């Protein structure tokens, strides 16, 4: 039986953030386990993944 669930905007944002975090963690763990790529390249790839999965808004800083 399929039921439709109505979510608020904030609930949907939380679910989207959890999915993005899980995707990022899975990709980074796989990248870290790869032995064919050196550490500098891995760091750049992780940073690029972060920028792609978690787009930051202009003018907003975490620091």
Condensed to tens digits (0 to 9), the pLDDT of residues 11-60 reads 999 999 999 999 999 999 999 999 999 999 999 999 999 999 987 755 55
The answer to whether 49 and 27 have CB atoms below 8 angstroms apart is: yes
Place of tokens 């905007």: 9
List, as one string, the DSSP characters of 50-62.
Answer: HHHHSPPPTT---
Predicted TM-score (pTM) of the model is 0.72
What is the model's pLDDT at position 56? 73
Ramachandran angles phi, psi of 13, nearest 5°? -65, -40
Place of tokens 């032995």: 35
What is the model's pLDDT at position 54? 86
Condensed to tens digits (0 to 9), the pLDDT of residues 1-11 reads 788 889 999 99
């Amino acid at each position: 039986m399929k039921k439709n669930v109505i979510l608020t905007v904030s609930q949907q944002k939380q679910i989207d953030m959890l999915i993005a975090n899980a995707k990022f963690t899975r990709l980074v763990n796989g990248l870290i386990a790869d032995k064919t790529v050196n550490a500098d390249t891995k760091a750049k790839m992780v940073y690029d993944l972060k920028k792609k999965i978690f787009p930051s808004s202009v003018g907003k800083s975490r620091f």
